[in-house]
């Protein structure tokens, strides 16, 4: 069910709001969210970018959501290098998700905010949740998001000289094009085949997932 706090259609559901719905609504009201949803039992609360830290601070101090589960992002884009494009056109944006929960009832709330694709910047959560440190570093290198105020926004997984932001939809799955696939280059030929056999057959030189025309499926 999706609704904004002022939306009256939310209560016109035949079965009435479920416990999860009323929980999501109360969280959304407490943090001053734009809207909320509980589709597929996943509580999502949409907040404005400038209210990001204040709503998560409220969540931790007043709503008891003390457990920091994860922070990540989704790159919504119609022009994708890998995989399928969205079925319906979407607004180009980076959606940042921070999942926090309590340790008594087992609630988990996904706070969501949208950032522009170019020059994405968001205030850091490291002052509120210590665990945000690594998650923000990961999101920064994978999606090119600048977490303002982060103490050490260096690359976490990738080598420091790595260029590009792999989880952006504009980033092609290049690794096997850049690094020769050992199965076709380094290894000596199978018995019965000459070592200098041609290695440029279509199936061998095009590992799955690199072609933009046929993305591996």
List of residues contacting other proteins (CB under 8 A): 39-42, 44, 66-70, 72, 74-75, 82-87, 97, 99, 103-106, 108, 110, 129-131, 133-134, 142, 156-159, 166-167, 171, 173, 175, 208-209, 215-217
CA distances from 196 to 161, 174, 186 (A): 35, 26, 12
Residue with tokens 């280059």, as numbered in its chain: 185
CB of 204 to other proteins, least distance (A): 18
| C-beta of residue 82 within 8 angstroms of C-beta of residue 169 | yes
| C-beta of residue 64 within 8 angstroms of C-beta of residue 102 | yes
Please give the structure tokens belonging to residue 120.
């994405």
> Nearer Cβ to other proteins, position 64 or 149?
64
> Nearer Cβ to other proteins, position 117 or 188?
117
> Nearer Cβ to other proteins, position 13 or 50?
13
> Nearer Cβ to other proteins, position 57 or 192?
57
Please give the structure tokens belonging to residue 28.
């959304």
CA dist 51 and 59 (Å) reads 12
CA dist 28 and 37 (Å) reads 10
> Nearer Cβ to other proteins, position 27 or 142?
142
CB of 103 to other proteins, least distance (A): 4
CA dist 102 and 180 (Å) reads 47
Polymer length of the chain: 217
CB of 14 to other proteins, least distance (A): 18
Q: Using alpha carbons only, what angle is made at residue 59 by residues 57 and 64, rounded to the nearest 5 degrees? A: 120
CB of 121 to other proteins, least distance (A): 21
The residues with which 36 forms a beta bridge, in sequence order, are 3, 45
> Nearer Cβ to other proteins, position 10 or 108?
108
Residue 195's Cα: distance from chain center in Å? 45
CA dist 124 and 133 (Å) reads 8
């Amino acid at each position: 069910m999706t609704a904004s706090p002022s939306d009256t259609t939310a209560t016109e559901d035949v079965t009435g709001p479920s416990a999860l719905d009323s929980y999501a609504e109360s969280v959304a009201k407490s943090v001053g969210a734009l809207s909320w949803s509980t589709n597929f039992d996943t509580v999502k609360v949409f907040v404005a970018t400038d209210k990001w830290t204040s709503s998560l601070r409220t969540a931790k101090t007043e709503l008891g959501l003390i457990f920091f589960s994860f922070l990540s992002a989704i790159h919504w884009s119609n022009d994708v290098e890998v995989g399928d494009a969205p079925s319906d056109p979407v607004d180009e944006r980076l959606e940042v998700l921070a999942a926090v929960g309590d340790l008594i009832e087992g609630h988990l709330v996904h706070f969501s905010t949208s950032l522009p694709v170019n020059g994405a910047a968001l205030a850091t959560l490291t002052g509120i949740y210590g665990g945000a440190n690594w998650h923000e570093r990961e999101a920064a290198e994978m999606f090119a998001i600048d977490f303002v105020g982060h103490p050490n926004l260096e690359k976490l997984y990738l080598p420091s000289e790595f260029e590009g932001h792999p989880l952006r939809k504009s980033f092609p799955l290049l690794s096997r094009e850049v690094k020769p696939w050992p199965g076709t280059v380094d290894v000596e030929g199978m018995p019965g085949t000459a070592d200098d056999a041609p290695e440029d057959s279509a199936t061998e030189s095009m590992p799955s997932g690199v072609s933009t025309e046929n993305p591996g499926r």
